[in-house]
């Protein structure tokens, strides 16, 4: 279902290729470069939503790499622990 959605998109980046590949093939994949809304003018992602999406995709860990601050680290850590995902800060 997810792969079918992205094949309809005009632009399929390498990020989505590996996400789809890992989701459909059973391989594990972990995103190591994610910004939250605490990175000024670079991202809109809420740490809770990032963790929930990682859980939906079957990922066992996720990282945040906010630029210039660590404001989202505690919120991210709590969301990961609540969803049984290993936080990488």
Residue 63, judged by CB atoms within 10 A of its CB (0-12, 13-18, 19+), counts as middle
Q: Mind listing the pLDDT tens digit for each residue in 30-77?
A: 888 888 888 888 877 889 999 999 999 888 999 999 888 888 899 999
The domain segmentation of the chain, as residue ranges, is 1-26, 31-88
End-to-end CA distance of the chain: 31
C-alpha to C-alpha distance for 73 and 23, rounded to whole angstroms = 26
Residue-level pLDDT at 5 = 52
Instruction: Return the residue matching tokens 């936080």.
Output: 87
Q: What is the DSSP letter of 9?
A: S
The band of 3, judged by pLDDT with boundaries at 50, 70 and 90, is low
Residue-level pLDDT at 30 = 83
Instruction: Return the residue matching tokens 């990922």.
Output: 59
């Amino acid at each position: 279902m997810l792969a079918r959605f992205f094949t309809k998109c005009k632009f399929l980046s390498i990020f989505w290729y590996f996400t789809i590949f890992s989701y459909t093939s059973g391989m594990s994949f972990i995103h190591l470069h994610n910004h939250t809304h605490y990175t000024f003018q670079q991202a809109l992602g809420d740490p809770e939503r990032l963790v929930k999406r990682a859980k939906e995709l079957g990922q066992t860990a996720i990282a945040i790499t906010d630029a210039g601050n660590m404001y989202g680290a505690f919120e991210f850590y709590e969301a990961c622990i609540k969803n049984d995902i290993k936080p990488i800060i």
